[in-house]
Structure 1
């Protein structure tokens, strides 16, 4: 399966630009973590935490997803992308909005710069959603993957709109409830609505493809789709009216059921795979699923502690966010980058030479030793940073922060090696 859509001039440049910029954002994110590591804030509403969280969610996670969607939508939906130019407009609005927002949070200046950032980011998100829906309108196929992707875009737009309203609320205070109340809703629309829905939709197609799985039980995906969306809608409505309460446990239980069905689908894919040996990228994908499961299992405890107004509710909420962004999403992106990007480069550089000369394989285009450095540095980060945060031990946090800097620059270095690869074969 060719991961690049046909007859789309400039699409290669668009996709690899997203991979490169998101890699740079990952390196910046790691450096900011290192700066904060000597006195890491325990509350998720601290300026530094807000800056890092939004850099992780937008610059690291969302930006690379945008690029991957431009690559994968034509493949998943079996039609051409709606526009080749509009994605560049999305990027030109997204980047200044992103960096302005991160800077505004870092110095915590909720004025014109933060407001402009919110407007730019929301505009770019809406244009991205237009591209996705217009592309889907050209497709004649019906699948669970399509439902997940389209629904995730609706949640993304809602997340961006609410986030912008919250930015303006800093100055004009027009929202009817306190800011932390809306922050909880904003965060979960983004985490469960955008990231979870989109990642399930895409991974449910890619993982069996990479593993060459014979069994792909689509009914499990369909039930997962409805349970996750219904639970998220209930959380939004009841959470807005009453905040976290004992009924939230039922909502979380429904979410857990939906996630469990997705994990059962992935388990079936692994059990029926023809490709038995797991490489480092796939191992990281498995690790990301472990982090997702751990973070979701924390939710009932966080809800209970919040109802009891325990001080541990805030600490565990921060840990939950880190497991999501630095665990689940980071491990998944680091793994899948080196399953997709090498193939994209290979198609560009070598597909026309296939059968005409001896050519390298996609896995030969990056440095395996650098991938191993990235892998072990990331494992060290997870072990030291999360333990240090729970134990309030700054030494462990600093060691973890140094480890993620090594992992991030190893990742970025390998991406640059891929993007600067030269074809030396002459016919």
Structure 2
């Protein structure tokens, strides 16, 4: 939506909907009436295929986007898709490669901190500013000079948040896999700094004061 893109490949979206929901429903029915067995791998494969369909649909939307420059908030969304793919890879490694010692922890980090958190960090500054902006300026739009929704927060702070988040996420994964405590500690510090920068920007948005300059009517020359 925020890319202002459109895809005509609706079959990918329908396929994703059917496969993801179908796989989950089959898993629930099987587990309810019988027990969880190796058939769960089949249902997992169906869900993963649905996710692949969805990713291909998103790729087509991205290619056909109208809004060519990608701001930092949308980079968070793109990164969340990459982290989703890495989450799937981590899950497959857990299932097929027992020596993958810290696979479950890496899977959790990628799923929660990588996929879901990246979406939240980026989409907050697409939705919250508009909600606040609409509350302040819905009756003033067109009557004078008002700020844009993106002017309700500090763009430079979002860019700082981006780099801190990248350092935190992939630092945690690297420190976990390579068993380097100092990397883990630095990653945790970056994660705290990410939270602080995010919180400051959210407070700036929520504490926004209405800024309005009345439009002046130019004098009519006689």
Please identify the structure whose Cα radius of gyration is greater.
2
Q: Where does 1:286-305 land on structure 2 (aligned, <5 Å)?
A: 286-305=78-97
**Structure 2: distance between partners of 1:426 and 1:406:** 36
Equivalent in the alignment of 2:168: 381
Q: Deviation per CA, 1:262-283: give whole Å up to 9, x if none.
A: 0111111111111111000111
CA contact (8 A) 2:6 2:65 kept: yes
Q: What displacement does 1:250 show? A: 3.0
Match of 2:202 among 392, 396, 415: 415
- State the superposition RMSD in angstroms: 1.9
SS of the counterpart of 2:67? coil
Give the TM-score taking structure 2 as reference length.
Answer: 0.88
Match of 1:333 among 110, 117, 120: 120
Q: What displacement does 1:304 show? A: 2.1
SS of the counterpart of 2:199? helix
Equivalent in the alignment of 2:17: 225
Equivalent in the alignment of 2:217: none
Give the TM-score taking structure 1 as reference length.
Answer: 0.47
Does 290-299 or 247-256 show the bigger shift?
247-256
SS of the counterpart of 1:212? coil
**Structure 2: distance between partners of 1:323 and 1:311:** 19
Q: Where does 1:334-413 land on structure 2 (aligned, <5 Å)?
A: 334-413=121-200
Equivalent in the alignment of 2:2: 210
CA contact (8 A) 1:366 1:414 kept: yes
Match of 2:74 among 273, 282, 285: 282
Q: Which has the higher helix share?
A: 1
SS of the counterpart of 1:312? coil
Equivalent in the alignment of 1:312: 100
Equivalent in the alignment of 2:35: 241
* Consecutive unaligned residues in structure 1, runs of 5 or more: 1-208
SS of the counterpart of 1:318? helix
CA contact (8 A) 2:145 2:213 kept: no
**Structure 1: distance between partners of 2:92 and 2:208:** 48
Q: What displacement does 1:242 show? A: 4.3
**Structure 2: distance between partners of 1:416 and 1:334:** 14
CA contact (8 A) 1:252 1:299 kept: no
**Structure 2: distance between partners of 1:255 and 1:301:** 17
Q: Where does 1:175-194 land on structure 2 (aligned, <5 Å)?
A: none
CA contact (8 A) 2:146 2:213 kept: no
Q: What displacement does 1:368 show? A: 1.1
CA contact (8 A) 2:87 2:111 kept: yes
**Structure 2: distance between partners of 1:354 and 1:300:** 51
Distance 1:275 1:424, change over 3 A: closer
CA contact (8 A) 1:216 1:265 kept: no
Q: What displacement does 1:296 show? A: 1.0
Equivalent in the alignment of 1:201: none
Q: What displacement does 1:229 show? A: 1.9
Q: What displacement does 1:392 show? A: 2.1
Q: What displacement does 1:238 show? A: 5.5
SS of the counterpart of 2:145? coil
Does 283-292 or 347-356 show the bigger shift?
347-356
* Consecutive unaligned residues in structure 2, runs of 5 or more: 215-222
